[in-house]
Amino acid sequence: MKAAGLTGGRMTLDERRAAFWLAGVFSLRMLGLFMILPVFALYAEHLRGNTPALAGLAIGIYGFSQALFQIPFGFLSDHYGRKRMIYLGLLIFAVGSVAAALADSIWGVILGRALQGGGAVSAAVMALAADLTREEHRIKVMATIGITIGLSFAISMIMGPVLNGWIGVPGIFWLTGLCALLSIAVVRFRVPNPVLSRVHRDAEPVASQFGRVLADTQLLRLNFGIFILHLLLTATFVAVPLALRDAGLPSDRHWEVYLPALLFSMVAIVPFIILAEKHRRLKPVFLGAILTLVLTEFGLLTLHDNVLEMGVLLLIFFTGFNLLEATLPSLIAKMAPPDAKGTAMGVYSSSQFLGAFAGGGLGGWLRGSFGLKGVFAFTTLGALAWLVVAWTMKNPRYLSSYLLNVGALDELAAHHLALQLAQVPGVAEAVVIAADGVAYLKVDRHTLDEATLRGFAADVDV
């Protein structure tokens, strides 16, 4: 039968299982990384050898090792098997969690957190998800994983203070280690084995595309943006738990601030996403969200000694943060070359993790040298610098990625097919990779003539 994306076919049982269980693996891992964010600055005060700078480093160090190893893990999974590299990464993550749980010094926690980040399975998991799904359903699977990551962050910010009150930070580390081992079991027994593993240009980095992606000034603006966004997040939460405590709110009640702020922010971003995507006002919404962070960080600089005022500011902060976290990947997808989306997302993810590392390290050092005001002054300037850089961003084209299985072709036939596809109404860009048997398209969904595209799809068994 024809490729299901063009005939309205549904996802198979194996595709649905892959989406559900791999999203679960991502979720458990992200929970483990983020649950300590709202509680660690307070816990670190009781560790041997602690300084504010080292506490910040312990929070952010996972980002350095994650950025260092995530792309190599993806490449190695091409050669040694997806599941094998995922098992290895999750085992390293579990070992790091145990090391942090057992540590009685700040350096022990730093080592554990570095190991947690070193279990960088993100690229390998995405590649496995691509192996297990047909081209026409892959965007849905990746979107499912992306939504899960966002929910995991929100849950971790709420559960961190709650679990800290029940089992303490060492208990949270033990729990995250257990979750990593459970994830290994999930991948082994619940995720189907791929029939064939190959490179997927839409889902994983390709070495030959790095120069092209790194030379694209529009993509560099977005990479700078995600770097600053996670720098702001990590640096802010080097200081916020201490500010809430100093304002009179016990640490086991911090969830009372985070819960309403996160829940409201997740609802509040919906109309802005509709305005940005459906009504094609993405750049104004994007710039408005960055400006919101500038004003929020400045508010924290001046009003961080009152719990109610901080609660309102955090609500606004999370609204801006969640909106930007949702729109940045959309902008990457719109601006990346159609056959280099996976590479663009790989560089983007590395920039995100490096931002977390920089935010933790610099935020901790600034807290030790200049106090909480020094941290919030730094984050205010960082958000302002991002606003200046983003202001010169081009208005994005409102295009979507579209994959078409075209079957086996030689290079000449692939070239001619790309020219033909580019003439289909609604197709803005078309690249056909003969070795992949896939056409990578950028399309305008509002004007796309799918009926014509249907004629170019290969006959595939599903």
Q: Where are the domains of the chain?
A: 1-200, 214-396, 400-454
Indicate the helix (H) or strand (E) that contains 221: helix 217-246
Spatial separation of the C-alpha atoms in residues 414 and 404, rounded to whole Å: 12
Distance of CA 147 to the CA centre of its chain: 10
For strands 427-433 and 400-405, give the pairing: unpaired
CA atoms of 386 and 364, how far apart (whole Å): 21
Residue of 261, 202, 172, 152 lying closest to 436 (CA atoms): 202
* Amino acid 8: pLDDT: 46
pLDDT at 2: 36
CATH topology of 1-200 equal to that of 214-396? yes
137: Cα separation from own chain's centroid: 20
The whole-angstrom separation of Cα 355 and Cα 352 is 5
pLDDT in tens, 65-100: 999 999 999 999 999 999 999 999 999 999 999 999
* Tokens at 356, concatenated: 């977390």
- Which residues, including other chains, have CB under 8 Å from residue 239's CB and lie 6 or more apart? 41, 300, 304, 363, 367, 372, 375, 376
Residues 6+ apart with CB under 8 A from 296: 313, 316, 317, 320
Tell whether domain 214-396 is in CATH 3.40.50.300. no
- The pLDDT value given to residue 250: 94
Give the Cα separation of 462 and 459 in Å (integer): 10
Neighbours of 185 (CB within 10 A): 10
The C-alpha angle with vertex 294 and arms to 368 and 316, in degrees rounded to 5, equals 100
**Alpha-carbon distances of 206 from 64, 72, 209, 212, 344, rounded to whole Å:** 21, 11, 6, 11, 9
Q: Which residues pair with 404 in a beta bridge?
A: 439
CA angle 343, 344, 347 (to 5 degrees): 85
Give the containing element (helix H, strand E) for 187.
helix 135-189
Report, as ranges of residue numbers, the positions in the chain whose pLDDT lies below 70.
1-9, 459-462
The CA distance from 344 to 350, in Å, is 10
At residue 460, the pLDDT reads: 46
Per-residue tokens: 240: 């916020």
Q: Does the reported pTM lie above 0.85?
A: yes
What pLDDT sits at residue 199? 84
Class of domain 1-200: mainly alpha
| Model pLDDT, residue 149 | 85
Give yes or no for a contact between 433 and 323, defined as CB atoms under 8 angstroms apart. no
Query: Of 3.90.1010.10, 3.30.70.100, 3.30.360.10, 3.20.20.80, which CATH number belongs to 400-454?
Result: 3.30.70.100
- For residue 454, what pLDDT is reported? 76
Matching residue, tokens 């580019």: 422
Residues 6+ apart with CB under 8 A from 93: 29, 32, 115, 116, 118, 119, 121, 176, 177, 180
Tell whether the torsion through CA atoms of 34, 36, 39 and 44 is positive or negative.
negative
Quick one: pLDDT at residue 4? 35
